[in-house]
């Protein structure tokens, strides 16, 4: 088995919604990107996420990748408007073999319904 180095997986941005029923839906900024996950609070402001998705046609440089698993460990800011954490993302081929892995840090900022109202109020 050969693992592609962590620096070879392209970075991307995404919108994610963490729902009160402990489900998460994400829409990344690449073609055919829609994924789902589940989350759990494990401490005061600390949460873990398990997330899965398909990679039709693979990812550069792993063209045999057909699915991935993503795990987060995140801490929400005191004001609740952002979180920071770490992630581990593993990519698998059709036989379940690991073909690539990407690990790193993550930062997210909450979108608010009031953001639109504030930007249009100044017009």
Q: How far apart are CA 12 and CA 4, in angstroms?
A: 18
Instruction: Name the one residue in this structure whose structure tokens are 């839906």.
Output: 25
- Per-residue pLDDT of the chain (123 residues), as tens digits, is 333 444 555 566 788 889 999 999 988 776 566 789 999 999 999 999 999 988 877 777 677 778 889 999 999 999 999 999 999 989 898 889 998 888 888 899 988 888 766 555 555
| DSSP 8-state class, residue 113 | H
Sign of the dihedral defined by the CA atoms of residues 109, 28, 26, 50, in that order = negative
Instruction: Name the one residue in this structure whose structure tokens are 């990344």.
Output: 28
Task: For 119, list phi and psi in degrees, rounded to 5.
Answer: -75, -30
Instruction: Name the one residue in this structure whose structure tokens are 């004001």.
Output: 79
Residue 35 is predicted with a pLDDT of 82
């Amino acid at each position: 088995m050969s693992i592609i180095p962590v620096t070879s997986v392209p970075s991307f941005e995404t919108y994610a919604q963490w729902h009160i029923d402990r489900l998460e839906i994400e829409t990344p900024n690449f073609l055919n990107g829609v994924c789902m996950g589940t989350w759990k609070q494990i401490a005061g402001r600390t949460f873990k996420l398990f997330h899965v998705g398909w990679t039709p046609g693979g990812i550069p440089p792993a063209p045999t990748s057909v699915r991935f698993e993503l795990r987060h460990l995140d801490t929400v800011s005191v004001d609740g408007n952002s979180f920071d954490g770490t992630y581990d993302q593993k990519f698998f081929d059709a036989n379940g073999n690991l073909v690539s892995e990407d690990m790193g840090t993550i930062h997210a900022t909450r979108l608010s319904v009031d953001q639109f109202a504030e930007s249009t109020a100044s017009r």
